[in-house]
Structure 1
């Protein structure tokens, strides 16, 4: 007779965490929830933690205007009937998206990326683009994803959910070093593994703010062809240049279809819409020689996950693209100026509170990104979640510990600052509070 008694160490009806997927005990998956919880507990603290866009130019009535612009586009430019427009907006839609052609036109104008609309998959945020791409590409147990270290937790968390092995490659001041990537590829092959793809944010990376030079981008593409390596390019921050001019994306330089370009409208348009995309123009050859686009294969996976991306969200973004004349970079001119001003203000305040002699005395330093939302401060104490709690409770200022962004250890004495969602007054006050916290912690570290 089978034993149906409840184990003594288990509450009746409860699930054993050890019997759930191993990713649920991974600290990476706890990182964002912890930050949200700290922000909720200290609502009056000035927060340099989130990398979200400013809400300064958003107005509720804009949503109705964007929807009208898109429906007008369908009726006037495409000649659709009212019934066709109604179906487009109210019904389930094409799995790969309904604004793929508008995105392709915008990419051609903004980034000099010229691809067929059929190679664009519209996703529910860029996070889904990552999940679809990883699920499609990583088929064998030996397949390995290379990432920069430090790295955005969204992609490493997605890899963990899918049981994909990840190999970190140390990032330098100018982003990932192509020769270090080449060495990692060869090392993996020597171990019997297959280096399948590299995930990289070439412009103003999250969390480091680092950017690759054009020469490094070209060298990386040479290595990708030479080593049969795919490149997953994530480009949410490329518009937001602080110094110099915009660099070409990897996809714009790609001549061998080695690059899958991941994009999002969260930073450049409307985060609440949760619309992203992936350009997957690689050919896939079937067992009988039939050829399709990788985008078509991603569609199969999407049909079993989100089915399709919200038609209403796509229509809002589509209307915004129509209004911009399919030139989103120009439409973001005011936002580019705003983020440039914020990052310059952040750097100036750090310099004011920590002039050269003082930061040498304390052991404090930071990088100076050419754009984007983030920079990293090195401090002489352990900048972990306990330190963040003290900072929030005693000084009313929040930041992000860097340790969560490293897969191979590191970042214990680093913290990330984001200034994208703050006013100038908040930056000034917040860095003053942060400077007081760092000074106190540095003194305790020196004394202890």
Structure 2
């Protein structure tokens, strides 16, 4: 039998972040009784197969009400479809209703999850080896992993405990140019970031847009958690504040609808001009990339999401009231448990401390000792609790911190998980 050298395979196969995440999954499988404060998955209790059938039917009814024949409906749902998708009009209406984002439906591309949207955006924007992407660090591993597969360099922009400083973005962009590279875009999650949980103040968002203009940067705004604030305070998206066409908006229906549908989208309403002076939308240009990746996003999956939008009047905020209340309660439960069980002290000069996000699924705990895979194994085996080492989200750093997730569990499991974590801390501090 043929044997292949691992050294001859692409670097993404042995990406340390990917192998670390695989290790986390292996630990979870090895210790099924451990409480997982690691998984950032939505809560299972919100989903049923009956809902899938109902939403699919609602979308079919929507198509029929729009005057389509049975033959046309069948062709839309059961054949290969338009590369950029068929529910762009519904998504554009949702963005206007929920976020105040006004874009033409033609600028919306429906993708096979937001992960595909990231790959398409990176591939389309980074044309030469000298093109790089900046990313707020700590950074979601899906972005860094996608860049690794594509061979695109990611340059970290460090985030302070207070959040991103736009001047730091400008400084990193200047350093990249001084090194002979071209910074094309900055990736960030402005609302309740994964993994840090931090949100950008509105004033910072406006300043960041100004800096993006000065530095000729596009902004890749990823917004999977924006619905799930602890309060109803308006948190305008960068895209809704954007008057200069700097923002490419990345969205997902995984947290708000069905993760199993694997439907995401991007909004790329920027104008592209070719050598003959012809003008097109960036979303149309990106369709060539998508056609070579997945041909088109499953029309059946799109129909299920379309049904959610039809039934909710194109408002995910309306459709997610129960989920918002649940995730708010879970985050408050986790923060209260941290306050109750964890000491704000530690060995030497490094105290135990944690941030207090204003929404989302995650919080970060700094520990007085390294939090690595060896400690995670010990935590699962002897204390029955899982968490995610923050160093998975850094190019270099995060060695003494862990990410805790509160999305997948019931409140009593969250409280018990934090209690178990406190015992691990007490045993090692």
Q: Same fold (TM over 0.5)?
A: yes
- Superposed CA RMSD in Å reads 1.4
After TM superposition, the structure 1 = structure 2 runs for residues 346-357 of structure 1, keeping only pairs within 5 Å, are 346-356=334-344
- The equivalent of 1:432 in structure 2 is 419
Instruction: Work out whether residues 145 and 165 of structure 1, in 8 Å CA contact, stay in contact via their aligned partners in 2.
Output: yes
Q: 1:315 and 1:234, CA in 2 relative to 1: closer, same or farther beyond 3 A?
A: same
Residue 229 of structure 1: CA displacement? 0.5
SS in 2 for 1:287: coil
Q: Could you tell me whether the CA contact under 8 Å between 1:339 and 1:372 is conserved in 2?
A: yes
Out of 360, 369, 380, the residue aligned to residue 357 of structure 2 is 369
Does 1:81 find its partner at 2:69? yes
Q: What does residue range 225-374 of structure 1 map to in structure 2 within 5 Å?
A: 225-243=213-231, 245-356=233-344, 363-374=351-362
Larger C-alpha radius of gyration, 1 or 2? 1
**If the length of structure 1 is used for normalisation, what is the TM-score?**
0.94
Tell whether the 8 Å contact from 1:49 to 1:399 is kept in structure 2 after alignment.
Answer: yes
Aligned residues: 429
Verify: 1:66 aligned to 2:55, yes or no.
yes
Choose the corresponding residue for 1:423, options 410, 413, 416.
410
- The structural deviation recorded for 1:357 is 6.5
Shift of the 228–37 alpha-carbon distance from structure 1 to 2, 3 Å rule, reads: same
Aligned equivalent of 1:168? 156
Match of 1:26 in 2: 15
* Alpha-carbon contact 2:344-2:352 (below 8 Å) kept: no
Q: Are the counterparts in 1 of residues 344 and 351 from structure 2 also a CA contact under 8 Å?
A: no
**In 1, distance between residues paired with 2:213 and 2:375?**
45
**Matched-pair contact (CA < 8 Å) for 1:238–1:246:** no
Out of 241-250 and 85-94, give the one that drifted further.
241-250
1:94 to 82, 92, 108: 82
SS in 2 for 1:284: strand
Q: Secondary structure at the match of 1:233?
A: strand
How many angstroms does 1:141 deviate by? 1.4
Q: 1:362 offset after TM fit, Å? A: 8.0
- Does the residue aligned with 2:136 lie in a helix, a strand or coil? strand
**Does residue 1:57 correspond to 2:46, yes or no?**
yes
Residue ranges of structure 2 left out of the alignment (5+ in a row): none
Moved over 6 A (4+): 357-362
Shift of 1:97: 0.3
Determine the C-alpha separation between the residues in 2 that align with 1:37 and 1:231.
Answer: 35
Distance 1:424 1:103, change over 3 A: same
Where 1:336 maps in the other structure, the secondary structure is helix
Q: 1:152 and 2:140 equivalent?
A: yes
Q: TM-score, normalised by structure 2?
A: 0.98
Contact 1:175 1:202 in 2 (8 A): no
Q: In 1, distance between residues paired with 2:308 and 2:231?
A: 27
Q: Paired residue for 1:39?
A: 28
Is 1:198 matched with 2:186?
yes
Question: Residues of 2 paired with 1:406 and 1:165: CA distance?
Answer: 14
SS in 2 for 1:212: coil
Contact kept, 8 Å, 2:347 with 2:368, in 1: the verdict is no
